[in-house]
Chains A and B, each alone.
Chain A
């Protein structure tokens, strides 16, 4: 059965998988085709185009499991305590929360065919703006309002420069990176601004049902991002604009306006992240959120977002961020240096992109040819 055409050659296989994709498996077909087809149906998400995102995410979860197993093996004394393990999971999620929110915005921009290098600087500017003494005098509401507004405004400026000023995204946001940090240093007079607001600081220290508020914020932003990308016209248009802007324009999408909105979303995410980071550090300063742009881009890429646009998932990006946070945690609990940690991070980025270039389909074919799979 191993060399029979329906399963082992590429072309008929793809054709055979297509109908089986959306409704899981047609019972009549299964009955007719027998055991072989049933096996194919069960694995349709593995072979089919539609399951590609799911496969990538599964691979990321695999990496995550490996990291946790390494942690458990090297510090079995800590991992033997269930309370500590639960605490550790929460601490990883808290570590991932700020970059996670930034990454959701970044994912939208990259899927839409752009790049935003200014996110770290926007977080710093929004953080500094919302912790000036004048803003703090308006209370938590004023602080949140100004952080979000600053984020959106800077994002809008980015978007307008790119779509109507026709600047390359790389250049426009690089300029914003420099300018926003400069403005943040100007406003803060290079000092660390301490937040005295109990509500804001409480966002990082308070729990609801045993889970930190920061984690809820991350979950809410991820959920909103997922719905926006996968269940709205806006999301579908984003993929279209990133995949082929000319085709999108001919299809009647206002590509320029759409691009402006994408950068505004990224700015909004930065504003939210600024509040979270201010809460965590009880303060803000112009040098905060250092190199978050690279963390966010790296997380999006290992999450399967195509740097040239047109493809990407929110869940993948979230997993990317969590993997990086888990690596940091793994190195910390083993008392290893930050230098070693950064080298491993770099290695994982390269490995993830290499793995993505290996087509999963050719891998399964290879396994099939060598009788390594169940079919």
Chain B
């Protein structure tokens, strides 16, 4: 009996010790320290808009999604605000959905900011908030996900989803023509299919391919995550034993897509990405994968939104334009990054 209990206590001691050790080791493993990536800011050049003006308070809200692009949006906005001595930056967590974001925004209004920069969970659902804020005399800068009502914003700045599809298809058509491929097999890996932006991207892609007399042979929708990208790509490769070109909508999920391609030992085609992540641009520059190009949808728009919000708050126009006020709508062009110009874009990768 005593022998037994001593054994037991020794076992407990060993087990407990191992558990404590494991805990200490694990806790040490959560660090993600690395060189801080340079945020996409534009340092104030002397003269013009850079001249310090009236002090402006900018309120900012963006969803807390688990995605590199949204994280880059928030980081860029914060960093850009930091480059101005005359800007006070107030950010509110947008929570998990449109309702939570609406609640957070009402606390922001009570703090009386001069301008609000807002990336809504859903443009349609937060349209009413835009109207309300504008009526209260606070200009709203609507970032990326568009309010349908033009009275709900002072400035709308967004990426071009349809244009992304157009740019990707244009590059693919060009390359296939250069290779002289007959009856090329084109595949598409989309992002979350229920989002409007995915449908716009696909429409731009299909429209442009159709003009060249081509169409998509097979299309799978992933979920903007690397693991879903890998799974859908693996099945897509299985469905098409020979492919000439693939467009993958999103570079974050592209990590998984590239993994699936490498796991299947396939390399007879080339791939075009989407968004323009740092890793994708580096891969294109190194030219050692099937990824040969990516079409941008850059989170640098958040930095520009902050700069323009500051000008709106100060009642100034853009110094290079003739108009005395900031324009009402800005749509970023979707640019195509290839090996030739990757060097210029790598600093904009997120």
The reply to whether the CB of B228 lies closer than 8 angstroms to some CB of chain A is yes
Residue from the list B31, B227, B239, B241 in contact with A289, Cβ < 8 A = B227
Residues of A within 8 A of B224 (CB): 287
A87 to B71, CA, bound (A): 38
A350 to B225, CA, bound (A): 29
B315 to chain A, nearest CB (A): 36
User: What interface size band does chain B fall in?
Assistant: 35 or more
The reply to whether the CB of A57 lies closer than 8 angstroms to some CB of chain B is no
In the complex, are the beta carbons of A95 and B235 less than 8 A apart? yes
Residues of A within 8 A of B26 (CB): 129, 146, 149-150, 153
The reply to whether the CB of B256 lies closer than 8 angstroms to some CB of chain A is yes
In the complex, are the beta carbons of B227 and A189 less than 8 A apart? no
A204 nearest in chain B by CB position = B263
A280 to B260, CA, bound (A): 7
A189 to B263, CA, bound (A): 28
Residue from the list A91, A190, A205, A335 in contact with B218, Cβ < 8 A = A335
A132 to B19, CA, bound (A): 21
In the complex, are the beta carbons of B259 and A280 less than 8 A apart? yes
A98 to B230, CA, bound (A): 12
Report the 6 A-B pairs with minimum CB-CB distance, sorted nearest first: A332-B235, A281-B226, A282-B259, A135-B29, A281-B256, A134-B31
B279 nearest in chain A by CB position = A194
Residue from the list A84, A134, A142 in contact with B32, Cβ < 8 A = A134
In the complex, are the beta carbons of A190 and B64 less than 8 A apart? yes
A87-B238, A134-B29 known; A280-B67 Cβ under 8 A: no
B326 to chain A, nearest CB (A): 30
Residue from the list A150, A187, A283 in contact with B255, Cβ < 8 A = A283
In the complex, are the beta carbons of B28 and A134 less than 8 A apart? yes
A215 to B241, CA, bound (A): 22
Which of B66, B223, B228: most chain A Cβ within 10 A?
A: B66
The reply to whether the CB of B203 lies closer than 8 angstroms to some CB of chain A is no
User: How would residues 113 to 148 of chain A score, 1 for a CB under 8 Å from any chain B CB and 0 otherwise?
Assistant: 000000000000000011011110010001001100
A186 nearest in chain B by CB position = B30
In B151-197, the 8 Å CB interface with A consists of 193
A65 to chain B, nearest CB (A): 19
A339 to B32, CA, bound (A): 37
A285-B225, A290-B228 known; A188-B32 Cβ under 8 A: yes
Residues of A within 8 A of B232 (CB): 332
A185 nearest in chain B by CB position = B66
A150 to B241, CA, bound (A): 39
User: How would residues 69 to 96 of chain A score, 1 for a CB under 8 Å from any chain B CB and 0 otherwise?
Assistant: 0000000001001001001100100110
Residues of B within 8 A of A194 (CB): 255, 279
A137 nearest in chain B by CB position = B29
Residue from the list A84, A132, A285, A332 in contact with B241, Cβ < 8 A = A84
The reply to whether the CB of B244 lies closer than 8 angstroms to some CB of chain A is no
B183 to chain A, nearest CB (A): 15
The reply to whether the CB of B220 lies closer than 8 angstroms to some CB of chain A is yes
The reply to whether the CB of B217 lies closer than 8 angstroms to some CB of chain A is yes
In the complex, are the beta carbons of A187 and B32 less than 8 A apart? yes
The reply to whether the CB of B117 lies closer than 8 angstroms to some CB of chain A is no
In the complex, are the beta carbons of A288 and B227 less than 8 A apart? yes
A129-B26, A288-B226, A339-B193 known; A332-B220 Cβ under 8 A: yes
In the complex, are the beta carbons of B235 and A134 less than 8 A apart? no
In A313-367, the 8 Å CB interface with B consists of 328-329, 332-335, 337-339
A5 to chain B, nearest CB (A): 55
The reply to whether the CB of B90 lies closer than 8 angstroms to some CB of chain A is no
The reply to whether the CB of B221 lies closer than 8 angstroms to some CB of chain A is yes
